[in-house]
């Protein structure tokens, strides 16, 4: 009997001890995360990305197109009632044109904001080759996101921006980010939740739902490494089809 018990107990105890001993490190988590979302090599290949998505407000669907050229430029445009507005951030500057409230021409984004948003130009994310990029990553232990067990990493970008990333402890998907930005000299936090990971033809898993608190952005398609016309990263007024043709 004793032997039987020992046979039962010892492996269980060993497994428990082993899992306790094997503490997680930031690199472990990053490695498992990339293994879960298509492999770091596939992510490293990404050079351009065009995301077609939509958001819903009061039952009305608002289409969005986000185009990014790796470390060069990003354009996010949205169309409401036939009018299109956009935000552009490049490696040098940025513009906003949101005609919906009566804005009549593109406005320059203040440098402080441009600098913070430029971190988003890295399509591959801050964790790919983070050491080479100069990003600092710290493992902050386990935490939970609304009851879901997560590993928590803090990333300090070379720009100084801080982002806390939460990885679902069961599948290593990145499910939440909290970015700390400074606006008018004052700290603000932006929380994004990621879900509905789907595999693209390029082999990466991409979150098709990104919730930024104001409602979820549902991604309809992700085109990777398709040629991007560089002229879209320059501001043009395009409040309506009529206007541009006059």
Partner 1 sequence: MKRHFILLACLFYFGFAEAQTKINSYTFGAMEARWLGPGTMSGRITAIEGVNADSRTLYVGTAGGGVWKSTNAGASFKPIFDKYCMSIGAIAIDQTNPKTVFVGAGESNMRNTVSIGDGIYKTTDGGDNWNKTGLDSTEHIAKIIIDPKNNNTIYVAAPGPLWADSKHRGVYKSIDGGETWNKIFYINEKTGCADIAVDPSNPSIVYATMWEFRRLPYSFNSGGVNSGMWKSTDGGQHWRELKEGLPEKPYGRIALTLAPGAPQNMLAIVEAKETGLFISADGGETWKSQSATVNVVSRPFYFSCLVIDPKDPKRVYRPGYGFSYSDDGGYSFTDASYDGGWVHSDHHALWINPNYTNQMYLGTDGGVYYSLDRGATWMFVYNLPVGQFYHVACDNTTPYRMYGGLQDNGSWVAPSAAPGGVNNSNWNFLYGGDGFWVQPDLTDSNIAYAESQGGNIGRIELNTNKSVDIAPQAGKEEDKLRWNWNTPIVTGQANHHNLYTGAQYLYKTNNQGRVWQKISPDLTTNDKKKQQQEESGGLSEDNTSAENHCTIFTIAESPLDENRIWVGTDDGNLQVTTDGGKTWTNVAKNYTVAGIPAQTWVSSIEPSRFDINTVYATFENHMYGDMKTYIAKSADNGKTWKLFTSTEFTGYAHKIKEDLIDKNLLFLGTERGMFATTDGGENWFRMKNHIPDYCMVRDIQIQPKTNDLVIATHGRGVMVINDISPMRTITKEVAEKEVLLMESKPIAITTGKYGGGGSPVSGGWLGGNPDDIQPIEYYLKDRATKDVKVEIYDATGKLMQSIPGSKRKGVNKVYWNLRMTPPKTATGSTKMDYANFIAPMVLPGTYTVKLLIGDKTYTQQLQLVHDKDNKLFSEEDRKAQYNAAMNLYHLHEQLATLVDKITAEQKLVTNNIDSVKSAKTKKQLKEYNTKLEELRSTLLATKHKSMFADEKKLREYISEVYAAICGQECKPTNLQLERVTVLNDDYKKGEQTYEKLQQETGKKLEQTINDEKKRVKQTAPSGGM
Candidates 180, 48, 159, 65; CA nearest to 111 is: 159
Identified binder of partner 1 from the candidate list 2, 22, 92, 131, rule CB under 8 A:
2
Euclidean distance between CA atoms 66 and 74, whole angstroms = 7
Strand-pair partners of 207: 197
Site for partner 1 in 29-68 (CB under 8 A): 56-60
Q: Is 239 in the site for partner 1 (CB under 8 A)?
A: yes
Identified binder of partner 1 from the candidate list 76, 88, 155, 208, rule CB under 8 A:
208
Euclidean distance between CA atoms 114 and 107, whole angstroms = 12
| N-terminal to C-terminal alpha carbon distance within the chain | 92
Site for partner 1 in 174-203 (CB under 8 A): 175, 180, 184-187, 193, 195-197
Please identify, using beta-carbon distances, which residue of 85 and 228 lies nearer to partner 1.
85
* Sheet strands (E) in 3-69: 48-57, 60-69
- At residue 146, the 3 state secondary structure works out as coil
Q: Is 99 in the site for partner 1 (CB under 8 A)?
A: yes
List residues near partner 1 by CB under 8 A. 2, 5-6, 8-9, 12, 56-60, 80-83, 99-102, 104, 140, 144-148, 154, 162, 164, 168, 171, 173, 175, 180, 184-187, 193, 195-197, 208-209, 211, 215-216, 218, 239-243, 245
């Amino acid at each position: 009997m004793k032997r039987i018990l020992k046979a039962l107990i010892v492996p269980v105890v060993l497994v428990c001890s082993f899992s306790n001993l094997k503490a997680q490190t930031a690199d472990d988590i990053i490695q498992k995360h990339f293994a879960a979302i298509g492999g770091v090599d596939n992510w490293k290949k990404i050079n351009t990305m065009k995301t077609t998505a939509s958001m819903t407000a009061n039952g009305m669907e608002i289409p969005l197109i986000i185009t990014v050229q790796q470390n060069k430029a990003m354009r996010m445009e949205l169309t409401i009632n036939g009018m299109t507005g956009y935000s552009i951030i490049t490696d040098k500057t940025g513009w906003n044109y949101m005609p919906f409230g009566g804005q009549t021409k593109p406005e320059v984004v203040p440098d402080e904001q441009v600098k913070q948003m430029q971190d988003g130009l890295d399509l591959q994310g801050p964790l790919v080759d983070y050491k080479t990029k100069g990003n600092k990553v710290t493992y902050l232990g386990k935490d939970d996101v609304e009851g879901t067990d997560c590993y928590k990493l803090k990333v300090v970008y070379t720009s100084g921006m801080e982002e806390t990333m939460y990885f679902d402890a069961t599948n290593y998907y990145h499910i939440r980010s909290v970015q700390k930005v400074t606006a008018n000299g004052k700290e603000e936090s932006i929380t994004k939740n990621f879900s509905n990971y789907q595999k693209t033809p390029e082999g990466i898993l991409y979150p098709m739902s990104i919730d930024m608190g104001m409602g979820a952005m549902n991604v309809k398609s992700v085109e990777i490494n398709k040629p991007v016309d560089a002229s879209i990263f320059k501001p043009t007024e395009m409040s309506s089809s009529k206007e541009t043709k006059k």
